[in-house]
A = this chain, B = another copy of it.
Amino acid sequence: MRRFKAIMMAAACCAMAGSASAASPSAEVRTWRQAHEREILADFSKLLAMPNVATNLPDVERNAAYISGLLETRGFKTRLLRASPGTPPSVFAELRTPGAKRTVVFYAHYDGQPVAQKGWLNPPFQPTLRTAPPEDKEVTVPAQGPINPDWRIYARSAGDDKAPIQAMISALDALKARGIKPSVNIKLLYEGEEEQGSPNFGRIIAQNLELVRGDLLIFGDGPMHQSGKQLISGGNRGIAGFTAMVYGPNKPLHDGHYGSWVPSPSVMIADLVMSLRTEDGRILIPGIADEVTPATAADKAGLAAMPPVEEDLKKALGLGRTIGPKRLADGYLSPTLNVRAIHAGDDGPNAANAIATEASASFDFRLAPGQTPARIRKVTEAYLTSKGWFIVRDTPDAATRLAHPKIVRLAWDEGSSIATKTPLETPAAQAVAKSIGRTVGYDVIQLPIVGGSSGFAEIVNQLKAPMVTVSIANYDDNQHARNENLRIGNLWDGIEVYAGLVADLDW
């Protein structure tokens, strides 16, 4: 009886919460997945077949309702959160785990990029199974036996970002079928407007702070590392873009008659560009890096431990050299100044030999942790002023033109953002690294932050929770482009990763 009671108590204990020291559920989940590949793929196709460009509100509502239904079937309480009527909702879903001490919020987005590109092999909302590139041959699911994991499903959002949604749902199904309970309380936050720049997401969070709060936010978006190894990152850089327009004569002039005497906007814009950064990437603006939070020892260790991809990447990209840091990711904790475009002169038939009236260039700063768009604007404008530029916000009138030797019209982009950085040595982040490490059987790459930007910093700050990025889509998923696809094996692996994050995560 006493033994029976002990067993019962052990069973009760484990029935209440999956223990953090339990073995990784991977093997169990894999067994289940292997027996259900066709159903999983059919469910995923059904999800992908729903058009999901956020500018189409009826489509978005259909996705949100459908996903809510899927989650309710699995025991979630769901709500649709809108910043205001007529804007795409975020799907919020909660599944409490009795006895669990931590609450983990999983983010993904169910909307997708526009689909106007030419060259899709199949219509973007007609999910199609194909062999691996470059063959891309259409195939059908075999009646039995494993589906070739190198095959891919081609549809918009197959990678970005419905893959983590399907992975979570299938992970929960697998765990339930195998009798494994989650180790955390689960909150799901699936946004409907990410590809539009998340214009309302900050307000959704602000209006629902208590509801969506948790101890850890797992940001489920983005493709995996080039090496194919699992990677977590602690955030991303910020962004501050601007355009500059410079002015020459007030009408186009024959450059034979005037070229030696009239300032040339083409040369002025090239000069402005080269005054801001060197060809090998050094930003020349004094004070530009004043606010940057220095890299920590853990940052440096994480970067040093990254697998070397540079040689292969150089060859794949056809580069005779690289600039800046020897290792690609080493630049992510510093600011970068990119020159997106330069346009000077005109290709029109009678314009060839003309001194143009103006020229322009478009730039983006990528902000390192600690930097603010406001200070970047300030030091950049102070520097240009020190170089003799008179800064205007509108087209200069005649009096202004005559009064200043060098005029530049500066316009800073609306959508700027700061960097987000959760130190990966924090217990929550390390718990994620270890969970995934147990799932995949090797130490995951720990990238302090990714090089790209996102509007999430302000949102994450509201939640006051550490945020870790986890990715499952294959590196070459063609996100944002034509022929977006998810490698089947990546879905299988993603199910195991999410199962581990739900049932084998504790700190």
Q: Which residues of A contact B (CB under 8 A)?
A: 113-114, 236-237, 239, 248-251, 253-264, 266-271, 273-274, 277-281, 314-315, 317-325, 328, 331-332, 334, 336-347, 349-350, 352-356, 359, 361-362, 364, 366, 398, 401-407, 450-453, 480-481
Contact = CB atoms under 8 A, between A and B. Distances in A.
Contacts of A259: 281, 331, 336-338, 366, 451
A193 to B, nearest CB: 17
A128 to B, nearest CB: 23
A8 to B, nearest CB: 54
Number of identical protomers: 2
B317 A451 contact: no
11 contacts: A249-B319, A257-B452, A258-B451, A259-B331, A260-B328, A260-B331, A261-B281, A263-B321, A319-B401, A319-B402, A341-B344
A344 B352 contact: no
Contacts of A274: 267, 270-271, 274
Given A267-B278, A268-B279, 13 more contacts: A237-B256, A251-B317, A255-B366, A257-B328, A257-B450, A260-B328, A266-B361, A269-B342, A315-B402, A320-B404, A320-B407, A340-B345, A341-B346
A331 B407 contact: no
Most buried by B among A253, A315, A353, A480: A353
A467 to B, nearest CB: 17
A364 B402 CA distance: 28
A90 B274 CA distance: 50
A250 B315 CA distance: 10
Interface of A is mostly: mixed
Contacts of A267: 273-274, 277-279, 339
B339 A342 contact: no
A325 B261 CA distance: 7
A31 to B, nearest CB: 37
Most buried by B among A250, A259, A264, A402: A259
Contacts of A319: 248-249, 262-263, 401-402
Contacts of A398: 318
Contacts of A271: 274, 279
Given A270-B339, A339-B345, A402-B315, A324 B260 contact: yes
Contacts of A268: 279
| Closest 7 A/B residue pairs (Cβ) | A341-B345, A260-B331, A256-B452, A250-B318, A321-B405, A266-B339, A270-B270
B362 A317 contact: no
A331 to B, nearest CB: 3
A347 B237 CA distance: 23
A453 to B, nearest CB: 6
A421 to B, nearest CB: 15
Contacts of A237: 256
A338 B450 CA distance: 42
Contacts of A359: 342
Most buried by B among A258, A270, A345: A270
Contact of A317 (B262, B342, B481): B262
A405 to B, nearest CB: 4
A115 to B, nearest CB: 12
Given A270-B274, A270-B342, A320 B353 contact: no
